[in-house]
Structure 1
Amino acid sequence: MRSRHRYRVRARHAQHARRPGLPIRQDVHGVTLNHVRRGEGEPLLLIHGIGGEWRSWDPVMDRLAAERDVVAIDMPGFGASPPLATGLPPGARALAEAVAEFVRAEVSAGPIDVGGHSLGGWTALELAKLGVARRVTAVAPAGFWTRAEAAYGRMTLRWTAWIVRHAPGLLSRGYERPSTRALLASGQFGHPRRVDPDDLRRMGDALRGASGWDDTLRATTRGRFSGGAQVQVPVTILWGTRDRLLLPRQAARAEAEVPGAELIRLDGAGHFAHWDEPESVIGALLAPG
């Protein structure tokens, strides 16, 4: 099995370097990213959305790792990764440049397949423009909003963060009842009753502990994706028809703004389409390039 620690690992995480599949916090060229690496084969980078962490990909990780060398990261300012050290606003481009440094040093000198969700999908498209992505699979990528839709998304996420930060006990109890869980999680999932309460609690913990939440939300929702013609790699976009955060009408804009992109609409899926329809997302991520 190939080494998982070709580059310097901080001392308190060194014991993880010899145990594939456990988190590793790595400082490469000034970019510190916590990440998990599983499986063998061609590399596949997975990038979570705002407020998330690498475990956002749990529903699809095992299947993907059965066929690929899967690298799931915590984006700067989320999970166990510290914010960007550059002082730059953490917009999608700045995040992509940091991830690109990590990929080139730790994963592959050449372009690799990249999957991203929400802000991670936008970041994946930026990686394509940087020459790091060989192929992009984007689940409800952010950045294809109007100004009004960006304001709506920002307001919705701020309200979500307020509830998670100030009423965690209320949420935790509510998740136990399927009817209440459906009400509380319907903004993220098309089928919230199927989601395990412990997974929802973990997502809340990740958001609550995200040091980069406020700055990243502010920086990303003030801009939008541009330069689609610079994306010269195959792109597959998946979008749930019940997405209540990044509204389904944004899917058509994404398809139009990224020349040659394939759009797949997932009937009944919400914003976390890789939870609602994992088989469809796995199929897209593993499809031949």
Structure 2
Amino acid sequence: MTSTILQLSETGQAFAFRERGQGAPVLLLHGVGMQSAAWDPQAEELSHTYRVIALDLPGHGGSAPVPAGSELPDFVSWLHDVIRTLKIGPVSIAGHSMGALITAGFAISHPEMTARAALLNGVFCRDAAARAGVVARAADIRAGKGDLETPLARWFGDSATDISARNLVAGWLREVDPSGYATAYSAFARGDATYADRFSEIACSFLAITGDGDPNSTPAMSQAMAAQVQDGRAVTITGHRHMVNLTAPDLVTSHLRDWLNSPTQLEALS
């Protein structure tokens, strides 16, 4: 997909996205340090029946950053600006990791603009030890002390598929703007509880996917999120870790197709 850059209607800042296909719109949001290309396996398949728009998050790829110190609600506001600029609501949104936090926050804050919400490897109410660890990593990244090998070793195994995906992800992490990465990671570190007590407000079809080997975005978290949503479903992909959309692309795409085939709230009431 060729990257397109537009200006947001409210702030005037640049945002970048890759688009392909026609039909009902599907927005894809990547995780911290990644870029829209991380969704290529799903975008390729889903574009046969949907208009797929994969965004570069602020400070990533071709998108301008949000101000330093921005928190998760600021990223949710950014997404609201994007959707209004593209004039595509209500829209189905799938987000991975940080993108999952933004997706959940948007579904809660703007239910009228959310057709469906899917969270891949989303974090939810970390325990004290996990929160302390991720906050410490955020501080290291802000200080320019972040390293690539620690997250890569945590995210990937030793299979040929994992190694290939790891090489892609390592390249994206090396390319990301350090300040944009630091801002997004700090919001990610503090964002797991921001909307946690409001998940019961999500009224649209909701899917939470993670890998059974993901120690930070655990199956228990996905199950806890889905249990709070009236139309929530949790899926655990066996033998995979944090980057399931790259290491188990066909399985993830299949689950997303099922999710996209589920009725929207308005369709269910008709």
- TM-score bracket, normalised by the shorter chain, equals 0.7 to 0.9
Give me the TM-score of the superposition, normalised by structure 1.
0.77
CA contact 2:31–2:98 (8 Å) conserved in 1: yes
- Per-residue CA distance 1:143-193 (angstroms, 9 max, x = gap): 4322322223344575897223xxxxxx7xxxxxxxxxxx98341135553
Alignment partner, residue 187 of structure 1: 154
TM-score normalised by length of structure 2? 0.82
2:64 is equivalent to residue 82 of structure 1 = yes
Matched positions, count: 248
2:22 and 2:225 map into 1 onto residues whose CA distance is 32
State whether residues 79 and 210 of structure 1, in contact with CA within 8 Å, keep that contact through their aligned partners in structure 2. no
Query: What runs of 5+ residues in structure 1 fail to find an aligned partner?
Result: 1-20, 165-170, 172-182
Q: Deviations over 1:26-60 (max 9, x none)?
A: 11221421111111111110000111110111232
Matching residue within 82, 94, 97 for 1:115: 94
Of stretches 30-39 and 150-159 in structure 1, the one that deviates more from structure 2 is 150-159
Is contact 1:242–1:268 with CA below 8 Å preserved after alignment? yes
Q: Residue in 1 aligned with 2:114?
A: 133
Please, which moves more after superposition, 257-266 or 33-42? 257-266
Could you list the runs of 5+ residues in structure 2 that have no partner in the other structure? 263-270
Q: After superposition, where does 1:34-183 map in structure 2 within 5 Å?
A: 34-84=16-66, 89-108=69-88, 110-129=89-108, 130-131=110-111, 132-155=113-136, 158=140, 162-164=146-148
Greater RCO structure (CA 8 Å; 6+ sep): 2
**Sequence identity percentage:** 20
The answer to whether the 8 A contact 1:191-1:270 is kept is no
Which residue of the partner structure matches residue 5 of structure 2? 25
Q: Which residue identity does 1:202 align to in structure 2?
A: G
Question: What CA distance in whole angstroms lies between the structure 1 residues aligned with 2:243 and 2:202?
Answer: 24
| Pairing 1:221–2:202 present | no
Distance 1:120 1:55 in 2: 14
Runs ≥4 in structure 1, deviation > 6 angstroms?
A: none
- Supply the RMSD in Å over aligned alpha carbons: 2.5
Distance 1:125 1:218 in 2: 18
CA shift in 2, pair 1:210/1:27, >3 Å:
farther
Partner-residue secondary structure (3-state), 1:142: coil
Q: What amino acid does structure 2 have at the position aligned with 1:163?
A: D
Q: Distance in 2 between matches of 1:123 and 1:56?
A: 17
Whole-angstrom distance in 2 between the partners of 1:248 and 1:156: 22
The answer to whether the 8 Å contact 2:207/2:226 transfers is no
3-state SS, counterpart of residue 14 of structure 2: strand
